[in-house]
Amino acid sequence: MKLYCLSGHPTLPCNVLKFKSTTIMLDCGLDMTSTLNFLPLPLVQSPRLSNLPGWALKDGNTFLDKELKECSGHVFVDSVPEFCLPETELIDLSTVDVILISNYHCMMALPYITEHTGFTGTVYATEPTVQIGRLLMEELVNFIERVPKAQSASLWKNKEVQRLLPAPLKDAVEVSTWRRCYTTQEVNSALSKIQLVGYSQKIELFGAVQVTPLSSGYALGSSNWIIQSHYEKVSYVSGSSLLTTHPQPMDQASLKNSDVLILTGLTQIPTANPDGMVGEFCSNLALTVRNGGNVLVPCYPSGVIYDLLECLYQYIDSAGLSNIPFYFISPVANSSLEFAQIFAEWLCHNKQTKVYLPEPPFPHAELIQTNKLKHYPSIHGDFSNDFKQPCVVFTGHPSLRFGDVVHFMELWGKSSLNTVIFTEPDFSYLDALAPYQPLAMKCIYCPIDTRLNFIQVSKLLKEVQPLNVVCPEQYTQPPPAQSHRMDLMIDCQPPAMSYRRAEVLALPFKRRYEKIEIMPELADSLVPLEIKPGISLATVSAVLHTKDNKHVLQAPPRPSQPQASKKRKRVSDDIPDCKLLKPLLSGSIPVDQFVQTLEKHGFSDVKVEDTAKGHIVLLQEAETLIQIEEDSTHIICDNDEMLRVRLRDLVLKFLQKF
């Protein structure tokens, strides 16, 4: 069993598991941090961005000044943003049989895989994952396509050139594989390959393995996966949460007894407690708005935003913010808010029960009804008519490189009254802000990541007790910035096996058993013999048939009926072995009774010695030893075959035959 690791990002995994005869891709996350190296795509012409100076080499060479621009000491690529794809060279991706998706954040690279690698298999995901994943992809495509950029930079990617660039461009990995965003058509085609599954649904793959999604508690429809055969079980844990937020709680019990547990998608900010961060978010929001400032929250159109809106729903009255408008701007804002309300069966218990009242599970419905929350597809159109300040704007993209957020950064960045609050943990907020420097607006970093932290992982591992744990290498050592925090790493026994991008791991896993079925007629013919209460044995002679990873014992072909007297001889020649079959023996020899029997049969000088493994019965006169052990009996006599046979028959009397 092997694990091919195609992504180096611990929360955006892409691994391929070869298990039995199947090739299973576990998630296909898209690392979008590469976009931080690019200039933002403004919705409205930005003089500031278009007038940035071109970058020149130390020696004054300006051949890159069209591609690279300098802003506050940082260098950015002036081109359509590109993404870092999972490794495509490590394994032939056309051989992948299925792709299992854990949550909507971990499927963003799907079109690259399904559309460009010769992939012909099936993708499995839950319905909310697909629907919200579609929204995220559509938003991404929309953000990038609506501001077409004529220029496409590629010179800088040349290895020789890249060497000369300043950090972080110099250190960017695999730049040659970076790709532009996919198209709507590719998204549709990729999503058409998805087959919907429900929690705990068992899906057979070629008869060899069974895969099952389990609730992971992180997002709507998010799942962990169990991949198991009859005797082996691999658990794939990706993006799970034990906190009580909106999704169904995590199913931990089903992860028990795994041979291997692949652990990815832990919290990216292990030192920040989500509750504390929500508190920070609310306080800073209130303080800004009180002073007449605006608040900008760069976010994804789904996920934590639901919880934030719920918190604000409870908070705004106490903080006297009832008159402040909240705007949610995204091409998919409306669908996202509505989808959240219709996936009732994927929600936590509290929210599910609301549906029966009947009430909308999320209170953002009420915010919309009372006009406190308004949503728009973009800043153009209705929004510009309704726009009132001070206000709170939720909009994407959290990387600050594309989407409506770019406009608000340009608009509000100059005033210290305004605040940008980062809640999404995927991007370093300092890097995200770099092309907007110098910036007067306040920046608050309250990353809200509800995924498992290391304390929770340690409890989880104690609970489910997997034999082996496999995880990204980042989890096996403390974060580089806090090297003394030994609590910020996975601590388990045996130590977790770690992987990094482009590595192939042989999983420590021995397959010992295989399930074989017996055909009914063959089973009928068996004559079991009870050798112990509750245990019966029977000998089987059969033909082993293997097809589609299923093994079946079938009755051996019957010897054909003698057709003519001439051929009778040949028939008897055909099955000569049958006669040689010796009965199988079972049982144990009670030494005392055996000695008595020997004495009855005239052996008078019997002595018994106990050995470590059993007994030795000594017939002194006959100079014979009978060694009785748990699984063997030896009669050692000096060439006296008659005696040996006599003794053998006495031994056999105590054993069962079948």
C-alpha to C-alpha distance for 50 and 58, rounded to whole angstroms: 23
Residue 423 CB, shortest distance to other proteins, in Å, is 12
CB 212 within 8 A of CB 335: no
Q: Is 318 exposed, middle or buried (0-12, 13-18, 19+ CB in 10 A)?
A: exposed
Please identify which residue in 287, 391, 502, 622 interacts with other proteins, judged by CB under 8 A: 287
Contact, 592 vs 600, CB < 8 A?
Answer: no
Where does this chain touch other proteins (CB under 8 A) — which range of 315-323, 424-432, 529-537, 624-632?
315-323
The verdict on 282 binding other proteins (CB under 8 A) reads: yes
The end-to-end CA distance of the chain, in Å, is 40
**Which range touches other proteins (CB under 8 A), out of 77-85, 154-162, 312-320, 557-565?**
312-320
**Shortest Å distance, C-beta 220 to other proteins:** 24
The backbone region for 287, taken as left when phi is positive above 0, alpha when psi lies in -120 to 50, beta otherwise, is alpha
Considering the complex, what minimum distance in angstroms separates the CB of residue 496 from other proteins? Answer: 16
Cβ within 8 Å of residue 208, ≥6 positions away = 19, 20, 21, 22, 229, 549
Q: Is 314 in the site for other proteins (CB under 8 A)?
A: yes
Number of residues that bind other proteins (CB under 8 A): 28
Where would I find the beta strands (DSSP E) of 423-554? 442-445, 468-472, 497-499, 503-506, 516-518, 529-532, 535-537, 543-547, 550-554
Task: Report if residue 291 touches other proteins, rule: CB under 8 A.
Answer: yes
The residue (of 314 and 546) whose beta carbon lies closer to other proteins is 314
Contacts of 50 (CB under 8 A, 6+ apart): none
Least distance (Å) between residue 493 CB and other proteins: 16
536 binds other proteins (CB under 8 A): no
- Counting contacts by CB under 8 A, is residue 416 touching other proteins? no
Count CB-CB contacts under 10 A for residue 186: 18
- Smallest distance from other proteins to CB 265, Å: 22
Question: Min. distance of Cβ 392 from other proteins in angstroms?
Answer: 14
Which residues within the stretch 477-496 sit at the binding site for other proteins (CB under 8 A)? 482, 484-487
Under the criterion CB under 8 A, does residue 598 sit at the interface with other proteins? no
Query: Is residue 283 at the binding interface for other proteins, with CB under 8 A as the rule?
Result: yes
Query: How many whole angstroms separate alpha carbon 49 and alpha carbon 45?
Result: 8
Q: Which residues, in sequence order, are CB contacts of 204 under 8 Å at separation 6+?
A: 210
Which segment (78-86, 257-265, 307-315, 643-651) binds other proteins by CB under 8 A?
A: 307-315
Kindly state whether residue 290 participates in binding other proteins, applying the rule CB under 8 A.
yes
| 16 touching other proteins, by CB under 8 A | no
As a whole number of angstroms, the distance between CA 164 and CA 297 comes to: 36
- Does residue number 292 form part of the binding site for other proteins (CB under 8 A)? no
Judged by CB, which is closer to other proteins: 205, or 277? 277
Strands 68-71 and 74-77 turn out to be: antiparallel
Least distance to other proteins, CB of residue 487, Å: 4
The crossing angle, in degrees rounded to 10, of helices 274-290 and 304-318 is 50
Tokens (6 digits) for 653: 């009397």
Q: Does 311 bind other proteins (CB under 8 A)?
A: yes
The amino acid present at 521, given as its one-letter code, is E
Question: For residues 269 and 625, which CB has a smaller minimum distance to other proteins in the complex?
Answer: 269
Nearer to other proteins, 208 or 311 (CB): 311
219 belongs to the binding site for other proteins (CB under 8 A): no
Q: What is the smallest separation between the CB atom of 486 and other proteins, expressed in angstroms?
A: 5
CB of 484 to other proteins, least distance (A): 6
Cα 147-152-153 angle, rounded to 5 deg:
135
Minimum gap (Å) between residue 464 Cβ and other proteins: 21
- Binding status of residue 284 toward other proteins by CB under 8 A: yes
> Tokens at residue 655, please?
């054993």
- For other proteins, the binding residue among 42, 279, 325, 479 (CB under 8 A) is 279
In angstroms, give the least distance from the CB of 440 to other proteins: 18
SS3 content of the chain, % helix, strand, coil (to 5): 30, 25, 45
Q: How far apart are CA 565 and CA 599, in angstroms?
A: 54
* Shortest separation between residue 317's beta carbon and other proteins, angstroms: 6
State the DSSP string of 617-657.
EEETTTTEEEEEESS-EEEE-SS-HHHHHHHHHHHHHTSEE
Interaction mask 461-480, other proteins, x per CB under 8 A: --------------------
On whether the CB atoms of residues 259 and 469 are closer than 8 A, the answer is: no
Stretch that binds other proteins, among 310-318, 469-477, 533-541, 574-582 (CB under 8 A): 310-318
Query: Which helix (H) or strand (E) covers residue 387, if one does?
Result: none
Q: Does 320 bind other proteins (CB under 8 A)?
A: yes
Minimum CB distance to other proteins smaller for 136 or for 446: 446
Record the tokens describing residue 132, joined without a space. 């919200």
Residue closer to other proteins by CB (options 70, 487) is 487
Binding mask 259-278 for other proteins (x = CB under 8 A): ------------xxx--xxx
C-alpha–C-alpha distance, residues 396 and 41, integer Å: 12
**One-letter identity of residue 243:** L
Contact status: 443 vs other proteins (CB under 8 A): no
158 lies in the binding site for other proteins (CB under 8 A): no
Considering only residues 50, 72, 318, 572, which one is a binding residue for other proteins as defined by CB under 8 A?
318
Residue 317 binds other proteins, judged by CB under 8 A: yes
Closest distance of CB 310 from other proteins, Å: 11
With residue 100 as reference, give the H or E element that holds it: strand 98-100
Q: Is 152 exposed, middle or buried (0-12, 13-18, 19+ CB in 10 A)?
A: exposed
- Interface residue list for other proteins (CB under 8 A): 271-273, 276-280, 282-284, 286-287, 290-291, 311, 314-315, 317-320, 446, 482, 484-487
